[in-house]
A and B are shown apart, each in its own frame.
Chain A
Amino acid sequence: MSEGALGPHDVLMIGGGAAGLRATIAIAETNPDLDVAVVSKVYPMRSHTVSAEGGAAGVMGEGDTLVEHVYDTISGSDWLADQDAVELFVEEAPRELLQLEHWGCPWSREPDGRVAMRAFGGMKRKRTWYASDKTGFHMLHALFQTSLKYRAVQRYDEWFVTRLLVDEGRVHGVVAVELATGRIRSITAKAVVLATGGCGQVFPFTTNANINTGDGMSLAYRAGAPLKDMEFVQYHPTGLPFTGILITEAARAEGGWLLNKDGDRFLQDYDLGTPTPTPELRSMELGPRDRISQAIFHEIARGRSVESPYGDVVHLDLRHLGEKLIEERLPFVRELCLKYERIDPVRELIPVRPVIHYMMGGVSTDIDGATPVAGLYAAGETACVSINGANRLGSNSLPECLVFGARAGRAAAEYAASAPGPPSVIAAQADDEIRRLERDVMGHTTREVDGLSAIRTEMQVTMEEAAGIYRDAQDMTDGIEVLHKLQEKVATVGVRDTSLVFNTELMATLELANMLDVAECILAAALRRQESRGAHQRTDHPSRDDERWLIHQLVRRGADGTPMVDEEVPVTITGLPPGERVYGR
């Protein structure tokens, strides 16, 4: 195999979304002599950043202060975010967003030419920069197109990473499959940055794209790096039934209302404020996502929702905003409703229900994206710094990709400049992995047609039952048992497709194995945390317990292959002791 090894590179980026591309550009700018390559299982402009709609938060508006953004983020996190990390994030976000502006991102503007800011959930100032309602799309394309300027940046487009090569606590590269040819190669590098995004596909109903299978989390986990805060999975309140397509929070920021079947703005019944005709910051429809999703759950339980062919829904009402505002600020929302629901939000109510949207947890990193494995970094949704704690605020994730992408890139560049090359044992490790793929995965053909999709569906249903908006010990214990059986099944599921060329069945099999790792970690961490905080709500432990649980749980892979929560790290508190989350009063 060694003669087929690719590289060596100085830094290998795994993933080409906002975090990966921002990191890549940071490396190219920090040290143009470094050899940086991006490995992505899709062409970078297909990355899931493309689907982000509402905007990116950064303090720049008149009257806004860093202190307020810090407070909003920490109270939004239900006090589980690390406050030093949040302070740094808030301070660096505006510069990163300005940098994107200089790279051509078409931010929406005020009449005088300044960047416009909109309101967002849980934020008490208008500080969310936006490019109409396709913010992620425009940011991703601006980053991707800007990255093309740096001719030194190499790309492995449509290569799927199957393993990190780690020896004595130090990463030396990866093994990856080139989809177009099926060839499996090791790619060596001094530093590796994981920027592979989230894992929404672990659940049956998600806003996330097909590619969001938690690959980076599983790669790190299998390489011995711990995952952090895995019990915190965010439901976004407004997904379209059936498809799960996101209707951005910006729809409510621009003045949209959530209504029950009687046409009442029901959030007033859940300690989120009193209805006002125009949106009030940190109140009602501009509350945080965890609280609003929980309110919808209760509204459904009380029988005040509306039945639909795809489950109970509530209504999002934009009719009073008028066609002009909707066309200007929310044209994509209208396009999506017309196309996928055949309704026009200018005249009709939008049916919505809570939908899995975002993973607060991820690969545990410090504020420079560094993991405990030397040379291994992570940034973006796949990482957990943690600035999001138990509940991320809308419009904090895009700037998180930029701030911590750039920081991880610079740190990886610095590390790579003086790191040693791979020891000889790495080649043998790569050979083992190639053999595993050829013999155990590809070599294991099966006659069963729906083996793969059956396991995936069972995993997703299990996760929705065990780790939904409300959880309890019994459901989670049952879920863990099911996942354990599915892990055994997936190891022998086999691949019917024997072609080497663009074998999407092989990739789906490897992705499913990754998802099962992530699913197991979510349940292990969630079962152990005996309190309710942010997106982790337990009916058997309904209160927040700061005495016991103001900590992050770290999950590692045990010797028997099952997840172990083996470390607790205290939350870093700098200036804001845990307090009550107050919205609308």
Chain B
Amino acid sequence: MTDGRIELHVTRYRPDKDTEPGRQEYEVPLREDWTVLDGLNYLKDEVDTTLAFRWSCRMGICGSCGMNVNGEPKLTCATFLSDYAPGPIRVEPLANFPVVRDLVVDLTDFMEKLPTVKPWIIREDDVTEIDGEYLQTPEELDAYKQFSMCINCMLCYAACPVYGLDPDFVGPAAIALAERYDLDSRDHGARERLDVLIEHEGVYGCTFVGECTRVCPKHVDPAGAIQRYKLKAAQQSVKAFLLPALPKGLRQRMDQ
């Protein structure tokens, strides 16, 4: 295998030069320990310096190098050429995003949606002096740990058919992060987040396709998070109907 080569069919698009995206066919060495990203870097260094793509950590944690590989959203630094032998391998920008250039997509939409779900600790008490940690047992940590593993790589958005049709949908990663904070024993912001996600394009956009969870490279399970939110939203509307006049403190206790 060390001496073979494999074809990469790569999407090229420079908006200031090209009228529409095209495909360029390249050949790279097929080495057993080379990832698709290694192949792209070989092209960039040796064959075509104009090829544009994002990458950084090359160890599956920074979330920069997501692309569609043979139609499937992948971290290219964690996807091996040899898994696609004898090829060819189609390398395309992540689906469902506007393309900036070549394999680089525009993440502005996600970056604007992320703050709307308030992904930070919200407290009822106003702590100004820190004199110790908030206690949190390993069990309480486990309750949200999985949802804290999201690297914002956008593979779930590229896989989500709903986001593809309705760009207003908040989307899997942002909802998983909302759930990450809701489930954190140190946080009191669940109701505020629910108010955001109860909106039409919040959780209701999702039709439970489950593609987000399937493609997630970090096993975050955004689909599970969305499902839990839908349940909470349903409970919330029942409670709002039955108990409209209860004081806030009592309502919150009932939410626990």
Contacts and interface: CB of A to CB of B under 8 A. Distances in A.
14 contacts: A42-B54, A42-B62, A45-B62, A46-B57, A102-B130, A109-B141, A111-B137, A113-B140, A137-B61, A149-B118, A332-B61, A340-B59, A449-B48, A502-B102
Contacts, number: 163
Given A113-B140, A500-B16, A245 B135 contact: no
Contact of A243 (B53, B59, B133): B59
Interface stretch (A74-82, A93-101, A187-195): A93-101
Contacts of A103: 120-121
B1 to A, nearest CB: 13
Contacts of A46: 56-57, 62-64
Contacts of B247: none
B188 to A, nearest CB: 12
A48 interface: yes
Interface string B201-240: 0000000000000000000000000000000000000000
A104 interface: yes
Given A101-B134, A209-B56, 14 more contacts: A45-B152, A46-B63, A51-B59, A103-B121, A113-B140, A141-B150, A145-B120, A157-B111, A243-B58, A340-B59, A449-B46, A499-B50, A499-B101, A503-B52
Contact of B133 (A115, A449, A499): A115
A211 interface: yes
Given A114-B135, A145-B120, A339 B60 contact: yes
Contacts of A114: 133, 135
Contacts of B52: 497, 502-504
B125 to A, nearest CB: 11
Contacts of B48: 449
A225 to B, nearest CB: 26
A339 B100 contact: no
Given A50-B62, A148-B115, A500-B16, A505 B33 contact: no
Interface in B41-96: 44-50, 52-64, 78
A41 to B, nearest CB: 10
B137 to A, nearest CB: 5
B42 to A, nearest CB: 10
B57 A209 contact: yes
Interface in A491-515: 495-505
A180 interface: yes
Contact of B187 (A104, A504, A505): A104
A282 interface: no
Contacts of B249: none
Contacts of A138: 148
* Among A48, A50, A151, A502, residue most surrounded by chain B Cβ atoms (within 10 Å): A502
A44 B52 CA distance: 20
Interface of A: 42-43, 45-48, 50-51, 95, 98-99, 101-104, 106-115, 134, 137-138, 141, 145-146, 148-149, 151, 157, 180, 209-211, 242-243, 245-246, 332, 335-336, 339-340, 449-450, 452-453, 495-505
Contacts of A504: 44, 52-53
A112 B140 CA distance: 11
Interface string B17-43: 100000000000000010000000000
B181 interface: yes
Interface of B: 14-17, 33, 44-50, 52-64, 78, 100-102, 104, 106-107, 111, 114-115, 118-121, 127, 130, 132-138, 140-141, 144-145, 148-152, 177, 181, 184, 186-187
A335 B57 CA distance: 15
Q: Give the top 5 A-B pairs by smallest Cβ distance, nearest first.
A: A113-B135, A453-B45, A497-B50, A148-B115, A145-B119
A106 B61 contact: no
A112 B134 CA distance: 11
A449 B49 contact: yes
Contact of A106 (B100, B101, B145): B145
A497 B111 CA distance: 28
A505 B49 contact: yes
A436 B29 CA distance: 38
B58 A113 contact: no
Nearest to A145: B119
A501 B102 CA distance: 10
A233 B167 CA distance: 47
B33 A104 contact: no
Nearest to B15: A501
A115 B134 CA distance: 9
Contacts of B14: 499, 501
A303 B203 CA distance: 61
A48 B16 contact: no
Given A501-B16, A501-B100, A95 B130 contact: yes
Contacts of B47: 449
